[in-house]
Amino acid sequence: MSKERIDIGGKVFGPYSPGIKAHGFIWLAGQISPESGESTGEQTLGSLSKIDALLDAAGASKHDVCFAQVLLDDINDFAEMNQVYGNWLEGVEIPPARAAFEAANLPKGAKVEIVIQAISPE
């Protein structure tokens, strides 16, 4: 199985692929969504929507996510992000492992960036 690019036609902010699928694994680049609104909750929802679309393009879903890394521009916004993230995972039998931490100066002034690793159900 060769390496495949996962793309949904959105804008990328550098020389990278939005996602890669290879050898039964899926890696998604960090997803930001500053265009979704000013709040961390709105941007989290926007990022998760992009993740859903990329997973769908790869033939997978949030049920196949094994690890999520959440970067916040302010760790004090953790509870707001976590509420939206928890709602997104509703119905997922085995939630992914996760790390969340503060990272200053996210791209494009984003408040949250989410990186995903998943397995391909195919």
Separation CA 25–CA 3 (nearest Å): 10
Across the strands, what pairs with 5? 20
CA atoms within 13 A on the CB side of 10: 22
Q: Within a domain: residue 8?
A: no
Over residues 80-109, the mean pLDDT reads: 96
Separation CA 89–CA 82 (nearest Å): 10
pLDDT value for 1? 61
Q: Within a domain: residue 62?
A: yes
**Residue among 85, 58, 62, 64 at smallest CA distance from 4:** 58
Over residues 61-72, the mean pLDDT reads: 98
Counting residues of the chain whose pLDDT is more than 90, the rounded percentage is 88
Q: Within a domain: residue 14?
A: no
Q: Within a domain: residue 12?
A: no
Kindly report the average pLDDT of the chain as a whole number.
95
What is the count of structural domains for the chain? 1
Which tens digits make up the pLDDT trace of 5-50?
A: 998 887 777 889 999 999 999 999 999 999 999 999 999 999 999 9
- Structural domain containing residue 30: 21-119
Measure CA 113 to chain center.
7
- CATH value at residue 61: 3.30.1330.40
